[in-house]
Chains A and B, each alone.
Chain A
Amino acid sequence: MFVVIYDARAMPYIPMDDEVVHRIKKSNVESITLYDDSLNESELTIKVGSMILLARETNNSLLFGKVEAVLMKNTNIVNANKILKIYYADVLQQRHAFFEALNKIEKINTPEANVLRATIYINLGKYKKASSECKKLIGKADLLVASTCLLHAESYQGNLLQSLSTLKKITNQFKHNSNLIPAWTLTALADMSDRLGDNNSSINYYQIASKANPNNVHVVSEMTDVFYKNNQQDKIIDVLENNHEDIRLSLRYFRSLIQQGKIRSQHSSELIMLKESILLLEMRKDERHYDTRAEYYTWIENDSAKAIFWAKKNWQVSQTPASATLLLRTITFDNNHNYEHKKLAAEVESWIKKNNVEDYSLLKMIRKISISEVTA
């Protein structure tokens, strides 16, 4: 069952003088001072650092564009300051400008720069390079940071089971005080368990991580994806009922409502907002959120041609298990399998073999497509 979403645009009007036309958000109030001041090096470092933190705490990635604008206006200060360069690279990677981010920290070898490079390489599917960056952390960063980085990168290179069990042993040392385990380590454990097909352990790790970081969209979104694999749609609706302002979460929430036949009239305005967000991405010629569009056209609009188009673009930009999964998901959603689908699945399969990728659900989807009949 899918839904029909209508456009709703109000005509322009002249409001009454006392009409409140905008509610100010906390993040905007804090950002005002950033533009008024002429900042020196230390003020800029503190401001930019706090803006990045605020963006993460409030899950407002729009702030990254504002931080970048400030950094762009202060190029001379930024170029002479390692921390600001790392902040700049971090902002760039958040905005998917991966290669620019790598250039920005090219000659910096602090643990922060190593971690950032490893993060970027993992996003780009360059796992050997990620491992090499993580190895540089040994002796420079604490055991948990270095081992999470290294073992997660190694888990993408044919060492999934071994990496997972080693990281489990290391984290077991903190089992009496799990607060000391960072969300990153927990999500790495969850991701590895998920790829092994151990959905329950994966959900468990995500739940611990989300308790400590309830605003972390990545954690919640990944957790609901594992619920989805477990066919626990009601759990997804429960978790996201009051937490789906973010577009990724919103897509997952409405996916479950639609598939469960639980869409009601009160959801229509949110669905229109979702549609407008997607249309705006297209109007803006956005080159970063291909995956979001693929998910929207698969789950909400049931337009498999558009979904496959965006999933293919996403796969071309970064070849990772996540982008491969999305591509195959869009294909399996289309009931009419054609030679193009088979060809794409074969491309993913050869990438899996070449890179020794271990991912239980990915392999399951490949098999499903391989044995399906060509119908169109």
Chain B
Amino acid sequence: MKFIFICLSMFLCVNVFAHQSSTSFVNFEQGNNNINGVWKIAIEDLTDIRNFDANNDGGIQWQELKNNKNLLLLSLKGGLKLISDNGMCDIEHSNSRLSLENTLDRNYILFPFKANCSMSSITIIKYNYFFDVDSDHKGIITISENENKPSIYVASVNNRVFNINSNQADSFVGIVKEGVWHIWMGFDHIIFVLTLLFGLLFTSDSSKPDKKSKIIEVTKVITAFTVAHSITLALAALDIMSPSIRLIESAIALTLVIAAIHNVRHHFPTKTISLFSWPIWKMAFVFGLIHGFGFANVLAEMNLSMTDIAKTLLAFNLGVEIGQLAIVVLFILTSLILFSFIKRSSLKKLIPISSILVMFVGTFWFVERAFEVTIF
């Protein structure tokens, strides 16, 4: 029962830390023929590994640390590994002179080191120090290269290996994935494209009802949408145009409503409004311009480095197109199956129902986004 009282006395979880959490700092940069680095470790952490207080006076003198220099260096061995294209880079500590850095609440020993490889050849960094003593320990690794912004990696008990050379490919693939994910998770874009395709495939006023011409029509619509959103995505990413997020998101919601009305235009006296007599590809192009700004907002939220903007744009757009193509293919396959089982006249009855639903969703999103209110 004693445990219960100890536990209960701390009933609400407490965010306390009287001192700073265990953290070491590794910094390295390219020297003349090799890598020069410094590993900064708090003395407080080192005292958890070994008792350096030989005279038991409660204080550690510099001499007491110097006397244990070999042991200290041994404890670092294997804690940091740099792997290059040609294998392991040897890290050399032995001839280094130790120094001290004071901060207000703790002191650090600085261990200089050299590694016999070039910075550009390093592919993997492994950090495996102190986790067996403190699971909360973190190693902050900073790589300074040329005049670029330094790269920072934070090693933790669950994240000890960094694949640095494949970063470019990783980030390219990563951005492609984000693009795919955005179109799949951005229901407004999906609903808009599907509403257009629904109108195209299931309405009877098409002058070319055969399969071949339908495929040409679908291709035209998708191409128009793709070209349009690519244009505005690029304009926004390059900071040439930056309309407000609220305006764009509200307009996107409105495009759903208009696309849905377009599908049922024959039931309403809308023919006087030229917008509703546009061919679907034209609608896809004009409204695609608005959706492109929406994609740009997502790209901005991802907070990516814009040093290689062409690559970032290409990757994100590629992802959006892959995601979009997957949805279109799925929709066409489903439609073909439906066409072979259900009469076209029965399918046509679905148009008003689905259009009303899309109108409702579009209006709902429009109100939420334009007036910044939460309805549900």
Contacts and interface: CB of A to CB of B under 8 A. Distances in A.
Interface of A: 8-25, 28, 31-32, 35, 49, 52-53, 56, 58-62, 64-66, 68-69, 72-73, 86, 90, 93-96, 111-112, 115-116, 119, 122-123, 141-142, 145, 148-149, 152, 182-185, 187-188, 191, 213, 216-218, 245-248, 269, 272-273, 276-277, 280, 283-286, 288-289, 291-292, 322, 339-340, 342-343, 346-347, 350
Interface stretch (B80-88, B104-112, B121-129, B196-204): B104-112
Contacts of A283: 23, 140, 152, 154
A142 B103 contact: no
Nearest to A72: B135
Contacts, number: 224
Nearest to A212: B9
Given A24-B59, A184-B8, 11 more contacts: A14-B97, A17-B66, A65-B134, A66-B135, A111-B4, A119-B13, A152-B11, A183-B9, A184-B11, A213-B9, A276-B105
B140 A122 contact: no
Nearest to B43: A22
B100 A14 contact: yes
B23 A21 contact: no
A157 to B, nearest CB: 17
Interface size class of B (residues with CB under 8 A): 35 or more
Interface stretch (B44-52, B162-170, B215-223, B339-347): B44-52
Nearest to A186: B9
A231 B132 CA distance: 47
Contact of A343 (B15, B47, B102, B374): B374
Nearest to B142: A283
B251 to A, nearest CB: 17
A23 B59 contact: yes
Contacts of A13: 99-100
A284 B154 contact: yes
Contact of A277 (B9, B20, B140): B20
A53 B6 contact: yes
Contacts of B18: 58-62, 245-247
A119 B7 contact: yes
Interface in B106-120: 107, 110
Contacts of B4: 111-112, 115, 141, 145
A18 B136 contact: no
B3 interface: yes
Contacts of A49: 3
Contacts of A20: 59-61
Interface string B30-47: 000000000000011001
Given A24-B59, A65-B135, A56 B22 contact: no
A19 B61 contact: yes
B221 to A, nearest CB: 35
A269 B104 contact: yes
Contact of A218 (B7, B10, B20): B10
Contacts of B149: none
B12 interface: yes
